Amino acid sequence: MQLDSEKLHQRLQPLFQENFEKLGELGAAISVWQNGKPVVDLCGGFCDASHDKAWTADTLVLVWSATKGIGSACVLHALQQRKIELHQTVAEFWPEFAQANKDKITLGQLLSHQAGLCALDQRVDVLDYGGVIRALEAQAPLWPPGTAHGYHARTFGFLLDELIRRITAKTLSDYWQENFARPLELDFWIGLPERENSRVATIYAAKSGKPPEPAQFYRDLVTPGTLARKTFTSPYGLNAISKMNDPEIRSYPNVSFGGIGTASALAKFYSMLANGGELNGQTFFPRETIERMTTMLSDGTDRVFQIPTAFSAGFMKDSRGGARRLFGPFAKSFGHPGAGGSHAFADPENKIAFAYVMNQMEQSVLPNDKSLRLINAIYDLL
């Protein structure tokens, strides 16, 4: 069913405004697309806490782990171009990965967070790409690969980036620009050019308050020695939110949590995915690759989050046992949220794409009411 742009705008505008007036938003933008075209774009608030700079349609902002969806799409694109199947092993393309009994880990297991490599035993700096890769090569899986899954918060981007380098001899950042950002004219970067810094909103850490659910995960997150703590602190570094505002850090192509862009760029990319891999007469993905994005590969209690989560090949999906729906009511939807509130997904059944970005983080790694209320409102009109 086709969304009515005017009705949707009337429905979303007051809810979006409430995010600022009642839910503590500072600056934010939402973009909704359907059938390959924008339906609603809203932005408001400020780029900075001093309210000196208004948020505009071309304001860029850090989206944290929403970058993982972009990175996963790049890997799936490289696999399709070379007719590589998900049941093939990672070590086939990255021989050094086979160390420590990882020779049988498949690409599908790696992409769906089943490889058991969410934390590192070695202490290595997140900005030392070569060091992180060597640590991943030496790392033994933390559970038998394929028997469980756990969110690879920091290591995932390095695994994606190294796969792209081994398969295409290009960095994932370059691959993204060449194959998607430039052809689709997307204002989204993994490794921000210095010239774009003046457009970037300052990102702010969550204000202290009652920790969200699941309570045990957030307790573990600050408890040394727990899997959650190890996962979110290895490789180490860049744990202070304010450090992510440093132009030098913005320029570093961190695929796990370093993507910077606009809401409309993120939504336009997901619109192409929701539209069967095609946009504006260009075909980026065949049906088989879109099916890899929609097909659940892991589902159940997440070893890291300790609640039900689910993943396809690189994208998050709603778990069958999950209490909340993050991607709307339709089963084929997929996407990837980012810490603090950013969120993006594709709904291929209705050809809808959604993106929400902001700069005042919440105490939540998964999507919160600021975006979920908007998503619910969209589907109420279908």
> In whole angstroms, how far apart are CA 86 and each of 113, 118, 253?
13, 20, 25
Mean pLDDT, all residues of the chain: 95
52 lies in which domain range?
5-380
CATH for 374: 3.40.710.10
Identify which of 340, 100, 122, 134 has the alpha carbon closest to the alpha carbon of residue 235: 122
Residue 285: its pLDDT value, please? Answer: 97
Residue 1: its pLDDT value, please? Answer: 83
Predicted TM-score of the model (pTM): 0.96
Alpha helices in the chain (DSSP H): 5-21, 67-81, 107-111, 129-138, 155-168, 172-176, 182-184, 215-221, 227-233, 247-250, 263-274, 287-294, 369-380
Q: Confirm if 15 and 373 have CB atoms less than 8 A apart.
A: yes
Alpha carbon 90 to chain centroid, angstroms:
22
* 35/109 Cα distance (integer angstroms): 32
What does the pLDDT profile of the chain (382 residues) look like in tens digits? Answer: 899 999 999 999 999 999 999 999 999 999 999 999 999 999 999 999 999 999 999 999 999 999 999 999 999 999 999 999 999 999 999 999 999 999 999 999 999 999 999 999 999 999 999 999 999 999 999 999 999 999 999 999 999 999 999 999 999 999 999 999 999 999 999 999 999 999 999 999 988 776 666 778 888 888 889 999 999 999 998 888 999 999 999 999 999 999 999 999 999 999 999 999 999 999 999 999 999 999 999 999 999 999 999 999 999 999 998 778 999 999 999 999 999 999 999 999 999 999 999 999 998 878 889 999 999 999 999 8
Cα angle 245, 179, 59; round to 5: 30
Helix, strand, or coil (residue 180): helix
Q: Confirm if 263 and 356 have CB atoms less than 8 A apart.
A: yes
Q: At 300, which helix (H) or strand (E)? A: strand 298-301
Residue 364: its pLDDT value, please? Answer: 80
Q: Confirm if 188 and 267 have CB atoms less than 8 A apart.
A: no
Residue 311: its pLDDT value, please? Answer: 98
Q: What is the pLDDT of residues 11-32, one digit of tens each?
A: 999 999 999 999 999 999 999 9
Q: Confirm if 271 and 346 have CB atoms less than 8 A apart.
A: yes
Domains held by the chain: number: 1
Structure tokens that stand for 85 in this block: 């199947």
